[in-house]
A and B are shown apart, each in its own frame.
Chain A
C-alpha cells in the first residue's frame, strides 16, 4: 500500500510540473508578443512625434525671421528688413552651418512632450545660401533645416518586421549621421525654404474695413512677366487669371456684387454680395500689419515741389537708388513733378521721402518717366485727382507708394482717383485709402494695402501677379518642403 501511494504522488508531481511548464511557456509567448507589439507602437509613436518636433522647428524659425521684418523699436536689435547684405534676422547665435554659410542655430528641448513623459529636442538651423538670393528684387530666401529627436526607451531592439526599420530608421545601436550613440533615439529632419512675401501679395488687403461699394467692380489678375498671362507685359482680358485675391483682418467684406476672379478671406467674418466670387471664401485669414517706419538714408537737403520739378534717377540702382527728401508736394495746376529725367538710363531707381503731404489737383501731374522705377514714402496725406498720377511704364510695380505710420491719434488718408487709368501699388496699413473710379471704362492696375480700403466707383481692378515678387517683404512663406529621410 505504501508503494502504491508513492507512485500516485509522483505521477501528480509530474503532471503538475508539466502543466506549470506549459502554462509558463504560453505566458512567456504572450508576453513576448505583447511586448513586441507595445515596442512597435511606442517606436512608431515616437517616430511620428519626431516629425511634429521637426515641423515645430520650422515654425519657430519663421517666427524668428518675421521678427526681423518689424521695426527695430519692437524687437530691439533685430535686422529690420532682410536684404542682400543683411545677415539672417532673429536672436539665434549665428553659428556657421555645415556647408559653411553663416546662419542661425537653436536647440530647444521640451520636457515631457513625448509619449511616456519623454522629451522632444528640436534642433534648427537657418542659413541663406547664395544660390537662393533673387538678384532681380533683392529677396533673400532662407533655408531652414530642423531635426526633431525623441528617445527610445525600453529594449534597444527593432520590432518584429525589418520593413519598419527601413522606414523609421531608428538609432538604437548607432546614429545614422554621427559616430557612436549616447542613447537610443529616433530623429526626423525637414528642410524647408522660405521666401519673402511682398506687401503686394494681394489685390486688396485691409486691416479693418474693406468696402467695394455697389459698383459691380471686376477684380482679376494677370502676370506681366509671363506671355501666356499677359500681352507685351500688359493686361489682356483674354488671358485673365484667377488671382485677384482680396482679404481683410477685419470681419466684414462688402463685395457689392463684385465679380472677383480670386479668393476672398476674412478674419472669422462674413462676405456680402458674394455671387460673383470665383475662388474660395475663407474665414481663417489674419496678417499682422507691419507699419512703415520713417525711412533712413535720405539726404538732409529738402526739396519743395510746388512747380515744375524733375527728380532725376540717373545713376540710381536697385541697391543704391537716387534719393530725395521732399517736405511736400503741392501741385495745384501750376506745374508737374517728373520722376526720372527723360534721358535717364533704363533701370534707374529713385526713392522719394515726402515728410509732409502730397496734393495734386487741377491739371497737374506726377509723372513717372519711362524705364524708371520709383518708391515714394509719405508721412502725411495723399490726395491725387484728375489724371494726376501717370505711370509711363504701365507697370504697377514700378511706382510704389508707402505710407509712413502717423503719430498716435492722427488719421492718415490716401485718396486716389478720377483717372481713366491708375497704375500703382500702395502700402499704407495705417491709412484710410479711397480709390475713386475712373468711369465705366476706367481701369486700375495694382495693389492696395490700407487700414481701410474703399473702392468708390471703381469698375475694374487688375492685379499684376508680378507684384508678389516686389515691394517690401512683410512675411515669409514656405516654397519648398522636404523630409530628408536618408
Chain B
C-alpha cells in the first residue's frame, strides 16, 4: 500500500529525531559552559603553576650561580669590604694577572709571585722599588671586585673592566654578606620572592628560599 501524504497541519512523525527542545539545549549549554570554564580554569592554573615552578627553578639556578661567583672571589680575597650594605658586596683580590676583559683573547698571562718582605707574597708585573713601604706598594697590586644589584640585573665588576651580568630579572633578589668565626669565614645569604601566589609571597615563603654559603678566606693568614 502507498502511504497517504501527511496533512500540513499534522505533526511530523519524525519530529523528535530532528531537533532538541529548549530545555535540552539549555541543559546541554549549561553543561558545556561548566566544562569549558573548568577546562579554562584548569588550563590557566596549570599554566600559572608551570610558570611559577619554572620561575622558582630559574631563580634557584641564579642563586647558585651568584653564590658560586661570590664564593670564588671570597676564597681568594685579601680583604672584604663593608658588609652591612645589602645587595652590594665588594672584596679585594690579588692582581694575579692583568685585569681581564670579559672575553679577552688571548687570555692574560699570570704574573710571577714576589715576596713582600713581611712573610707574604704579591703578584705584579713590577718589583717593589727599594724604600717603598710595603703597605703602600701592595695597594698597587690588588684588584677590587664588586657585586651589586642594579634594576633587574646583578652585576660583577672587576677592577676597571666593564661590568658583566650574572643574572637578570632578579629585581626581587636580596644578598648580604656577614663575617663569622673571627672574620675567617664570610657567610653570604641570597633570597628571592617566590611567585606561587598572585597575592605575593609571605615572609615565611621568602625566608624559605634563603640560600646560605659559608666561605673560608684562604688568604687570611690566621686561618692556618
Contact = CB atoms under 8 A, between A and B. Distances in A.
A129 B123 CA distance: 13
Contacts of B62: 161, 163
Interface in B126-183: 164-167, 182
Interface string A43-77: 01001100000000000000000000000000000
**The 3 residue pairs across chains A and B that have the minimum distance between CB atoms:** A481-B218, A486-B107, A477-B224
Nearest to A223: B118
A485 B71 CA distance: 13
A159 B57 CA distance: 13
A280 B65 CA distance: 35
A159 B112 CA distance: 35
Interface string A31-44: 00100010010001
A33, A47, A482, A485: most-surrounded residue (chain B CB, <10 A): A482
Contacts of B35: none
B55 interface: no
Given A163-B65, A280-B182, A143 B119 contact: no
A167 interface: yes
Given A481-B76, A486-B108, A167 B121 contact: no
Given A481-B76, A482-B94, A163 B115 contact: no
Given A480-B121, A482-B96, 5 more contacts: A163-B62, A164-B65, A482-B123, A483-B76, A486-B108
A37 B61 CA distance: 9
Contacts of A48: 68
A483 B113 contact: no
B65 A167 contact: yes
Interface string A151-190: 0000000010101101110000000110000000000000
B107 A163 contact: no
A124 B224 CA distance: 21
A195 B117 CA distance: 12
A474 interface: no
Given A44-B64, A469-B119, A193 B113 contact: yes
Interface residues of A, number: 39
Interface in B56-105: 57-58, 61-62, 64-65, 68-69, 72, 75-76, 93-94, 96-97, 100, 102
Contact of A480 (B57, B68, B113, B164): B113
A163 B166 CA distance: 6
A279 to B, nearest CB: 10
Given A163-B165, A478-B224, A486 B97 contact: yes
B67 to A, nearest CB: 11
Contacts of A483: 72, 75-76
Contacts of A482: 76, 93-94, 96, 123
Interface of A: 33, 37, 40, 44, 47-48, 99, 129, 131-134, 141, 143, 159, 161, 163-164, 166-168, 176-177, 191, 193, 195, 280, 468-469, 477-486
Interface of B: 54, 57-58, 61-62, 64-65, 68-69, 72, 75-76, 93-94, 96-97, 100, 102, 107-108, 110, 112-115, 119-121, 123, 164-167, 182, 218-219, 221, 224
B167 A163 contact: yes
B107 A479 contact: no
A47 B68 CA distance: 10
B119 A468 contact: yes
B113 A132 contact: yes
B143 to A, nearest CB: 11
Contact of B96 (A44, A168, A484): A484
17 contacts: A47-B68, A129-B113, A131-B114, A132-B121, A133-B115, A134-B115, A163-B65, A164-B65, A167-B68, A168-B68, A478-B224, A479-B221, A481-B218, A482-B93, A482-B96, A483-B72, A483-B75
Contacts of B100: 486
Given A37-B57, A141-B121, A483-B72, A129 B112 contact: yes
A477 B219 CA distance: 11
Nearest to B102: A166
A485 B94 CA distance: 13
A143 B97 CA distance: 16
Nearest to B106: A486
A133 B167 CA distance: 43
Contacts of B224: 477-478
Contacts of A486: 97, 100, 107-108
Given A163-B65, A479-B121, A480-B120, A131 B75 contact: no
A168 B114 CA distance: 29
Contacts of B68: 44, 47-48, 167-168
B115 A132 contact: yes
A167 B94 CA distance: 19
Contact of A479 (B69, B93, B110, B120): B120
B125 to A, nearest CB: 12
